Amino acid sequence: MLVDSFKYANWEYKANDIRADIGQQFGVSISYNQAWRAKCHTLHMLRGSAEDSFRMLPLYLYNIRIHNPGSVSNLVTDKEDRFLMCYYSLGVVVRSFVQHCRPVIIVDGAQLKAGYSGTNLVAVAMDDNNGILPLAYGIGGGETN
């Protein structure tokens, strides 16, 4: 019942919003916990699980290298084939950096706070017009790794 609401919602559809909508549509009162579980289940139906996404990552990185000449990517896993870190950079971006950017690279990271901790990293440079060019993206255990 919630799939359409999530597909067309322009805001974050919160558990209290779900409670209000269910109460209004069906005249039923549900708990916050029930609404939260319904939200998690609906998002899993729409987006799939994080495990599915991690399983598709090697194919995604392979396709980046095949369809974008000069692209670089790397995926590091542990002995049990579990994800540790990865990065990628598109070939066209590397060529743009070499030809049109100042030779300074800026790296910044943001902490991931979902079920999987880590750091989302991005390397950027400035081009001739003071525009920002994202050079490479990565996910790892921390900025120092």
What are the Cα distances from residue 47, in Å, to 39, 44, 50, 93?
12, 5, 9, 29
Q: How does pLDDT run across 98-124, given as a tens digit for each residue?
A: 998 888 999 998 988 777 788 999 999
60, 131: one domain:
yes
In a domain, 15, yes or no: yes
In a domain, 145, yes or no: no
40, 54: one domain:
no
74, 108: one domain:
yes
Label residue 18 exposed, middle or buried (CB < 10 Å: 0-12, 13-18, 19+): buried
72, 113: one domain:
yes
42, 62: one domain:
no
Q: How does pLDDT run across 9-53, given as a tens digit for each residue?
A: 655 788 898 899 888 888 999 999 999 998 888 888 888 888 888
Q: For the whole model, what pTM was predicted?
A: 0.70
Residue numbers of the domain that contains 117:
50-140
Domain boundary among 15, 31, 47: 47
Neighbours of 58 (CB within 10 A): 15
Number of domains in the chain: 2
In a domain, 86, yes or no: yes
